[in-house]
Chains A and B, each alone.
Chain A
Amino acid sequence: MGIIQATKLVFEYLKYGEDGEAKERDRAIDEVSLDVEEGQFIAVLGHNGSGKSTLAKHINALLLPTKGTLYVDSMNPAKENELWKIRQKAGMVFQNPDNQIIGNIVEEDIAFGPENLGIETKDIWVRVNESLEAVGMTAYRKKSPNRLSGGQKQRVAIAGVVAMRPKCIVLDEPTAMLDPNGRKEVLRTVRELNRKENVTVILITHYMEEVVFADNVYVMDNGHLVMQGTPREIFSQVDKLKEYRLDVPQVTLLAHELKQSGVEIPDGILTIEELVDALCQLN
């Protein structure tokens, strides 16, 4: 059994009328089943309102399933005594860095999580040091978070999660508000955590280029899981993705269009190097 296992997961938002009676049910997740192995890098794609974030909030038990089950590291969030453990195992990073930082200086902010777990002070510092190191922010430990760039703030937010020693990190569009450099920094940090510390990563994003390195990609549409596969398998279906209001990286689109014009190159090209190699072999 994988670290995250969903079986026919359903979540319904209830709309209430003026009398306080539930009058409408809106199914945001509709019978989603998935199994994520420990240590994987997973990307979740889907248009606005497709159910990605709702799914993500189940992984650290911010939402509980209406029907079906979701196990995180073999624990069931529906049981109250396991819910808190799940939140330690699965950390979350959101879109806006300014909404996630509470400390006056970077290291205090990172210590907030472990402190709440009741860890001994000297161990908290060990964790803070490790986390700062893991996201490459050690040099900024005494700085005020206000003076950091967007990418740096997101790395502090990630360090705050890392300090809780989670097995799994869920990132909900962590780069949406960042400039190109910030985007690169955050992605590099997340990939390193995944590779070096074997943390399972669930990355939700609208930037197709960020998905290229994932082990597995899930595509959501109207609450359903509609596609699943390696980035190459997913991105070789350019037209299908467009139906789901999605896109492919520019390099993949260019390769796809060249191929349609009769240039003989393989399907599902993902990186600049691949395209350049394929074209130069023709030349």
Chain B
Amino acid sequence: MSIKLENVTYTYSPETAYEMHALKTINLEIPQGQFVGVIGHTGSGKSTLIQHFNGLIKPTSGTVFFEGQDIWKEGYPLKQLRSQVGLVFQYPEHQLFETDVLKDVCFGPKNQGLSEEECKERAVEALEHVGLAEKYFDKSPFELSGGQKRRVAIAGVLAMNPKVLVLDEPTAGLDPRGRDDILEQISFLHKTRSITIILVSHSMEDIAKYVERIIVMNDGEKCFDDMPKEVFSHYKELEEMGLAAPQITYIMHALKERGMQVDVGAITVAEAKVSILQALAGDKGLELSSGAVKTDITAAVKNHSGKVRHD
């Protein structure tokens, strides 16, 4: 087990006219190695929540545990915690400052007190893991494209070898390919380094595609915490909170309403495709080249169980 919040509340400006309860009695546990999505409208408490994970914010009441230890107990090594739980803020590329890419990524491990050699090793590894080619290492970070800059910034956090990586809207403002590239890299990291990933995003499509669990925040409360399929089945409630479900969810529900026997729990393009093909093939009235459909379904199912790339 990795992160645990017990009855955590947080109040901004307590006992003043501006008092605001940003978090209200939050209880949750995130085991090591999970890929978690956090969604919620602007001001719902998402950012306040994630800043509790690495002790940037001290709860007004309640307890935060990391690996079983209360992080606010006297003598707890908070500094160490912050390199174990890496936080990538929104627009992290605004935080780049060094003269070249490699130096910038070295900054974190250097502060951890590692030797120059080790720092470099870590930095090179981290840059490889975010998919940035070696030819960029000695370039100024400011000469890179938006997507590349963001990868450098993520590498800077990775170089500290965190067990948990928290990303606050890592794809905002990126083009679709840049968006896919970054998320694929994050998912790759999750698999190869088995680190916990906590992804905050406004893109329900991205959330649907990658995470295994969704935490929904609304007005400082945790109102859903479940598998994506389950959470998105409450799409009407999500809309009331200013959120939405992926476009696919709406398609599947609309088809079902019109009498097609499709799986309304499908949330990605690949899942929807399989379900629709099955529904069509199951319907006798339809004369498709059924052999072709069948192989397609098996291929799609197979493809999907191996986590799809193409949706």
Residues of chain A whose beta carbon lies under 8 Å from any beta carbon of chain B = 46-50, 95, 149-151, 173, 176-183, 206, 208-209, 242, 245-247, 249-251, 253-254, 257-258, 261-263, 272-273, 275-276, 279-280, 282-283
Residues of B within 8 A of A151 (CB): 42
Complex interface bits, B165-190 against A, C-beta within 8 A gives 1, otherwise 0: 00000001111111100000000000
A222 to B167, CA, bound (A): 30
Kindly list chain A residues whose C-beta atoms are within 8 Å of the C-beta of B276.
254, 258, 263, 279
**Do A48 and B147 touch across chains, with their CB atoms under 8 A apart?**
yes
Contact of A279 among B172, B173, B255 (CB under 8 A): B255
Rounded to whole Å, the gap between the CB of A113 and the closest CB of chain B is 25
Number of A-B contacts (CB under 8 A): 131
In the assembled complex, 16 residue pairs joining A and B whose CB atoms fall closer than 8 Å, in A order, are A50-B175, A95-B173, A149-B43, A178-B202, A179-B40, A181-B244, A245-B176, A245-B178, A250-B311, A254-B248, A257-B269, A261-B277, A261-B292, A261-B296, A263-B276, A282-B280
Question: Range of interface residues on chain B?
Answer: 35 or more
**Contact at A49–B145, with CB atoms within 8 Å?**
yes
**Smallest CB gap from A244: residue in B:** B177
**Could you list 5 further interchain pairs (A-B, Cβ under 8 angstroms) beyond the known A50-B175, A173-B173, A178-B202?**
A206-B173, A250-B251, A250-B269, A251-B248, A254-B273
Judged by a CB distance under 8 angstroms, whether B137 is at the interface is no
Kindly supply a per-residue 1/0 record for chain B positions 242-268, scoring 1 wherever the CB is within 8 Å of any chain A CB and 0 otherwise. 111011101100110011100000000
Is the pair B272, A254 in contact by a Cβ cutoff of 8 Å? yes
With A49-B145, A275-B251 as contacts: A179 and B202 at CB distance below 8 Å: yes
A87 to chain B, nearest CB (A): 25
Interfacial residues, chain B to chain A (CB-CB below 8 A): 40-43, 145-147, 172-179, 202, 204-205, 242-244, 246-248, 250-251, 254-255, 258-260, 269, 272-273, 276-277, 279-280, 283, 285-286, 288-289, 292-293, 296, 311
Most buried by B among A50, A95, A246, A276: A276
Take A245-B175, A257-B273, A275-B251 as given contacts and tell me if A178 and B42 are in contact as well, using a CB distance cutoff of 8 Å. Answer: yes
